Amino acid sequence: MNSKLFLSLLFYTTAISADAFEPLKHLAGITPYFESPPTTPYDPAPPQGCNITRATYLVRHAAIVANDYDYETYIGPFVKKLANTTVDWSKAGNLSFLAKWKSPIKEDDIEQLTQVGVQEATNLGSDVKNRYHGFRNPPKVWSSTAERTTKSASSFIKGLSAGTSPQLVEVNEGKEEGADSLTPYSSCPAYSSSRGSEQSGIYQKIYTAPIIARFNAAAPAFNFTVDDIIGMQELCGYESVINGNVSTPGYAINADSPFCSLDLFTADEWLGFEYSNDLMYWHGIGYGNPISGTIGLPWAKAAANLLLQSNKPDQDLYVSFTHRELPPTVLVALGLFNNSAYTASSDVNTTMPSNEINPNREWISSRILPFLTNIAMERMECNSFNYTEGDYYRVLVNQSPAPLPGCADGPGLSCSGKGFTSYMQQRQNMFGGFSQKCGVKYSNSTDVLGIYGTQVDAVGNGTSTSSGAAASQTSAKGSAAGRTSTSVSMAAGLCLTMAYMLW
């Protein structure tokens, strides 16, 4: 193995481990936006000799006051219980702040964007404008129709646009849109929003048990439960994005909530909260759900076709806003953050046990799915030393390069045009056939995302597998080419995983 690379990775890991543990970076789907620690030693900037000529983005909405499910299931009941208790909190040690604490969440504001969310979305627009400073101002930005997504898109446009503002195109969130929407899971009868709750619930009971014992010893009359603990930890995130302030660069916000205190919950207990959510998302919208790749493929394929077409399109930049469910399914469709690339197991779900944390997993929801999470696919024109001159393609997740498995034959682990076309065709073969695999019964369904207008179908329809389960298992196992097999990349993965755990 290259000793210089190993030492640089070791230095990188040590530098990060010197920082204090930050609970706000381990809150899964309610993590405030932060740019992920790099998944490779490669820079988000274009490789030497390359210029970005086209890009597509899929963006989750920015920070909200509270998710309705989180509030109704965990936070609301905890707040009500707290209001009706007779516990003398002044004698309850680290819980004494509860004597004066008041919930910052107003029920009328649930699901609404916070000011932190507005600012973060605006900042992202500015960053994208600066990243692609030679691009034409896009005439359109797309968004699903929920207020939190359209407001995120509008805030993004404010940061992006230096002249005439792009038109905001709202895409229906109906249940009979087939694949032609930014919420295709809503149109897929095979998708269930409750999938993953059982596995997550198992680990919730495990990691909260010592917390419950500790809190009940301090305040026996309150009778803390699993749901109380989940609600308290969720309040760390929601209270921070309600009361906090954004500092740039990096979109860092202060942990403006007493629930974030490491005196209240230890670092291990925050990692327990994170992993319980990782399980839910893994089985719900990740590799543990056979339908995930099929739900994510239409956007991935549409984005690839926009990048691959040889004629100059109407836009250089295509940006779309959606909800938390879609980005992880796109990552599955693309074969990214796949735990089984680092294990010999043939059963993908053994990489996410429900009774203990897998510390070496790739699937970490806090960096896959924070508020404002974004997946970028870029086309680059390269004339780099030792590479054939031409177009190359790559994916970034929250501004961190994420090499496509088995398709890294270009500068900076990018993918050649031929390789990218072949790779996307393979993914089409695995996950194509939305209407069939989703078990659609309504009429006028479609297997493609057509909101961007007429495209040259560079990827094609392929020959899809007959079952979503088979496709998911094929993706989970990975091909020999898709596995990370060199000692250098394995060392990088191990060092960066260690770095993230301490991030």
Could you give all domains of the chain from N- to C-terminal order, each with its CATH number?
3-62+113-191+291-501 (3.40.50.1240)
Q: What digits encode the pLDDT tens for the residues 432-453?
A: 999 999 999 999 999 999 999 8
Is the pLDDT at 475 greater than 50? The verdict is: no
pLDDT of res. 492: 43
Residue 484's pLDDT band (boundaries 50, 70, 90)? very low
φ/ψ (deg, to 5) at 364 = -125, 110
pLDDT of res. 255: 74
Which helix or strand (DSSP H or E) is residue 477 part of? helix 468-477
Q: What digits encode the pLDDT tens for the residues 420-436?
A: 999 999 999 999 999 99
pLDDT of res. 254: 75
Q: What digits encode the pLDDT tens for the residues 358-381?
A: 999 999 999 999 999 999 999 999
pLDDT of res. 253: 78
Q: What digits encode the pLDDT tens for the residues 25-57?
A: 999 999 999 886 655 567 899 999 999 999 999
What number is the average pLDDT over the span 184-208? 98
> By percentage, how much of the chain surpasses pLDDT 90?
77
Q: What digits encode the pLDDT tens for the residues 310-340?
A: 888 889 999 999 999 999 999 999 999 999 7
Mean pLDDT, rounded, of the chain: 88
User: What is the C-alpha separation between 32 and 117, in angstroms, rounded?
Assistant: 9
What number is the average pLDDT over the span 65-85? 98
* Among the listed residues 284, 143, 97, the one whose alpha carbon sits nearest the alpha carbon of residue 200: 284
Is the pLDDT at 233 greater than 70? The verdict is: yes
Residue 1's pLDDT band (boundaries 50, 70, 90)? very low
pLDDT of res. 456: 67
Q: What digits encode the pLDDT tens for the residues 271-300?
A: 999 999 999 999 999 999 999 999 999 999
In this structure, the chain runs to a length of: 503
Q: Within 18-142, where are the H helices? A: 68-70, 76-83, 115-131
Q: What digits encode the pLDDT tens for the residues 125-136?
A: 999 999 999 999
Report residue 253 as tokens. Answer: 């916000």
Calculate the dihedral angle through the C-alpha atoms of 444, 447, 450, 454, rounding to the nearest 10 degrees: -100
* Among the listed residues 337, 73, 356, the one whose alpha carbon sits nearest the alpha carbon of residue 348: 337
Question: Are the C-beta atoms of 358 and 380 separated by less than 8 Å?
Answer: no
Q: What digits encode the pLDDT tens for the residues 332-348?
A: 999 999 997 655 556 88
